[in-house]
């Protein structure tokens, strides 16, 4: 058991999180092997399983924050379904819109917990966002505006998730909280993995030309996305402290 009273090993005693890991594995396998039917079966289950874990974990989460977290996972579910066919630009734009709602929800959660944008953390992410925006404008102008707008919501959430105040006991190196036994320390890594996943979506859209490279890249995109959500939606990272309840 850890200090929050939850099992120390991922998924241990948490059947819905274990189910999420299984659904994520099937989804990644389906993407890499080109078996779309497996993705249609497993991918829509991923976020509802995390939501079920949030709802049943027994962790003391502020009711408003629990509602925001569940709403964010609901928006992510819609985005997941839309992006089962990532080569359709209309679905890509609609999926990005759904994930923008999710990122806004995550930002709200971090803000409520006292996270604020700090220049040393924000500046590298702003530079990356501007670089991606320029690349999209040059190579894929039809999707550049909506994906750049989504990138702003992603970057905002990532900056707030890496604020050292969210995990006061964690080391912070180069603007990233280093994960330790405190689930809150893993939020920055979750946001970084989300950024990596979405950055790969852009690179896949622009540069992956063969069926094999597109499938392989999609597998990495989904694996990093699943890992990000596993960390970000852990209810233990959103647990109220005794001061919150006083």
Domain presence at residue 8: no
Residue 113 lies in a domain: yes
What's the Cα-to-Cα distance from 236 to each of 46, 66, 100, 117, 187, rounded to whole Å?
A: 18, 11, 24, 23, 11
Q: What is residue 87's predicted lDDT score, i.e. its pLDDT?
A: 82
Tally of domains within the chain: 1
Highest mean pLDDT among 43-47, 161-165, 206-210: 43-47
**Is 9 within a domain?**
no
User: Residue 11: pLDDT band by 50, 70, 90 thresholds?
Assistant: very low
**What crossing angle do the helices spanning 187-207 and 211-232 adopt, rounded to 10°?**
160
Question: Is 2 contained in some domain?
Answer: no
Overall average pLDDT of the 151-168 stretch? 95
The model's confidence at residue 185, banded by pLDDT at 50, 70 and 90, is very high
Query: How much is the average pLDDT of 227-239?
Result: 97
61 domain-assigned? yes
- Domain extent at residue 139: 15-245
Domain presence at residue 74: yes
Pair 111, 57: CB distance under 8 Å = no
206 lies in a domain? yes
Asked if residue 129 belongs to a domain, the reply is: yes
């Amino acid at each position: 058991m850890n200090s929050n009273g939850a099992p120390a090993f991922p998924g241990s005693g948490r059947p819905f999180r274990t189910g999420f890991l299984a659904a994520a594995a099937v989804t990644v396998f389906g993407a890499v092997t080109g078996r779309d039917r497996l993705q249609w079966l497993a991918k829509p289950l991923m976020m509802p399983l995390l939501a079920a874990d949030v709802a049943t974990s027994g962790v003391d989460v502020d009711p408003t924050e629990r509602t925001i977290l569940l709403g964010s996972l609901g928006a992510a579910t819609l985005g997941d379904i839309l992006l089962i066919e990532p080569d359709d630009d209309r679905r890509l734009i609609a999926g990005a819109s759904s994930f923008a709602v999710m990122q806004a929800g995550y930002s709200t959660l971090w803000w409520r917990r006292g996270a604020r944008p700090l220049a040393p953390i924000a500046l590298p992410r702003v530079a990356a966002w501007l670089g991606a925006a320029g690349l999209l404008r040059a190579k894929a102008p039809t999707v550049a505006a909506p994906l750049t707008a989504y990138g702003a919501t992603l970057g905002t959430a990532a900056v707030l998730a890496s604020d050292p105040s969210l995990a006061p006991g964690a080391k912070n190196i180069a603007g990233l909280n280093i994960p330790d036994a405190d689930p809150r320390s893993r939020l920055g890594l979750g946001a970084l993995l989300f950024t990596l996943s979405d950055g790969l979506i852009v690179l896949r859209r622009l540069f992956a030309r063969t069926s094999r490279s597109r499938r392989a890249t999609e597998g990495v995109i989904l694996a990093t996305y699943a890992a990000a959500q596993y960390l970000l939606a852990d209810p233990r990272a959103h647990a109220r402290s005794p001061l919150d309840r006083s």
